[in-house]
Structure 1
Amino acid sequence: MALEFADNGASVVVVDVDEDGLDELTSEITADGGEATGVVGDVSDPDSVEAVVERAIEEYGTIDVLCNNAGILDDYAPTGETSEELWDRVLDINLKGVFLFTKAALPALLEGEDEGVVINTASIAGKVAGGGGAAYTSSKHGVIGFTKQLSHDYGPEIRANAVCPGFIETGMTESLIDETPDEVQELVDGTPAGRYARPEEVAQVVAFLASDEASFMHGTAVDVDGGWLVD
């Protein structure tokens, strides 16, 4: 997403707990002539979130688009195997982080001449069971609900939408692909697309949702799932 927005001329503030990965990404963007600032931050920590938002405004004056994309899996643990610690960690990052960043950025998003844009990463697990365990599925259902309520409360000053990816080949899913390749392949073979998605395919949809071409889209949860949910 950061690369896609930078390629489209946006000044990007990238947030991650992984400082090395952050440096690598921002260096790639600036080497290609883009504008990027990397900030180490924890989306589940209110003080960290406030500091990131303050840094973004210091660097660029305001925030026009907020993408809440941080997330973790729960190893598909059912309720009986979900510890309170796992539940809290997944909900803190996947759902509370979306709330914290949106709330912190809200004044900047509201004060601009154009409508502010918020795009939240949900999942097919935000619409059906089986895309994750108890904690993950609950968190992603919550992201979709939060997106709709945000649109209801702040439209038209803020245009809020979500994307619902299917199986994307990312660092988050790498262990699943490595540890259970046959099972994962069977799942993706059963979709109309018949393959994993590349991260940039989701990023392109997010960039569209942030653009004026999507100006009449409010409170939607757009499937980017290769047809996973057609049945």
Structure 2
Amino acid sequence: MELYKNKVAIITGAGSGIGRATCLLLAEKGARITVVDISKEGGEETVSLIQELGAEAIFVQADVGSRDEVKQYVDETVKAFGTIDMFFNNAGIEGSVTKLAEYPDDLFEKVVDINLKGVFYGMKYVIQVMLENGGGSIVNTASNAGIVGTPGVSPYAATKHAVVGLTKTATGEYAGQGIRVNAIAPGPTATKMMERFTQGSEEAKVAVESGIPAGRYGTPEEVAHLVVYLLGDQSAIINGAVYPIDGGLTAL
């Protein structure tokens, strides 16, 4: 599709799951992509899959909780491709399932570093480039836990609520300069994160699915289609929105 051909995208958390699925969908549409992930193996595998589709890609290994490493993936993208048109600010971790009063302090700080600071730093440095180049589109990954309370994962829920706040605030600050910032709020999705949540238990998976009106997990590909739509010019009037994609879970 010409809307995406030769456009430059950065995708974090691109070594697997929703990030990888979004990379592949954008690659099919001719975008040039910077794959960012803390996993060298996962990131390089995504680059290979992109190249098999005939698209250009580079891999930058980064811990998104590090301001310097975030700035590096932005700088490497500009060096390789000249600009940034689209940014899927997707990397995140779930932490542990533990009540607030017992939550380990070090793990709380790690969740905040990746899920909140990582999103903030990514927006900060990407927006600087987009302002220089006349605009662009950003999609942040929040969660259904960023819309409703989610007992047992207080730091995760808090950081995902914060992603929604950053999304809406940035819209007010930069919409007039051609930058759109939206967020997605996935529910349970068939990724490694959900496998960790349920500890690989089929019984736990069935229990989670029983609470979803659709009766099943979403797929990374289903989420990727929403992300790609929001990144592209066909959604030009959409700004500051938060889209649940959770089988109706947060509608109840």
Letter in 1 for 2:239: H
Counterpart selection for 1:30 from 48, 51, 54: 51
Decide which of 132, 139, 148 is 2:159's aligned counterpart.
Answer: 139
State how far apart, in whole Å, the 1-side matches of 2:149 and 2:204 are: 17
Once the two structures are TM-superposed, the CA of residue 132 in structure 1 deviates from its matched residue by 5.5
Distance 1:143 1:76 in 2: 20
Q: Which of 181, 192, 202 is the equivalent residue of 2:202?
A: 181
Select which of 83, 97, 102 maps to 1:81: 102
**Structure 1 gap ranges (5+):** none
Are 1:121 and 2:138 matched, yes or no? no
% of aligned pairs identical?
38
Q: Does 1:130 align with 2:150?
A: yes
Instruction: Work out whether 1:46 is the aligned partner of 2:67.
Output: yes
Deviation per residue, 1:169-216 (Å, 9 max, x gap): 112122234444323312212322111111111110000001122111
Q: Any idea what SS the aligned residue of 2:250 has?
A: coil
State how far apart, in whole Å, the 2-side matches of 1:208 and 1:219 are. Answer: 15
Query: Is 1:17–1:41's contact at 8 Å kept on the other side of the alignment?
Result: yes
Deviation at 1:131, TM superposition (A): 6.7
- Cα contact 1:176–1:184 (8 A) shared by 2: no
Taking the aligned partners of 2:54 and 2:139, their CA distance within structure 1 comes to 25
Q: Select between 179-188 and 139-148 the one with higher mean Cα deviation.
A: 179-188
Aligned-residue Cα RMSD (Å) equals 1.3
CA contact (8 A) 1:12 1:36 kept: yes
Q: Output the amino acid matched with 1:93.
A: I
Structure 2 runs not aligned, ≥5 long: 1-21
* TM-score when normalising by structure 1: 0.95
CA–CA distance in structure 1, aligned partners of residues 162 and 237 of structure 2: 23
Letter in 2 for 1:150: A
The structure 1 segments of at least 4 consecutive aligned residues displaced by more than 3 Å after TM superposition are 177-180
Which of 175, 189, 208 matches 1:168? Answer: 189
TM score, norm. by length of structure 2: 0.87
Conserved? CA contact 2:92–2:114, under 8 Å: yes
User: How many Å apart are 1:127 and its aligned residue?
Assistant: 0.7
CA distance 1:131–1:167, change in 2 (3 Å) = farther
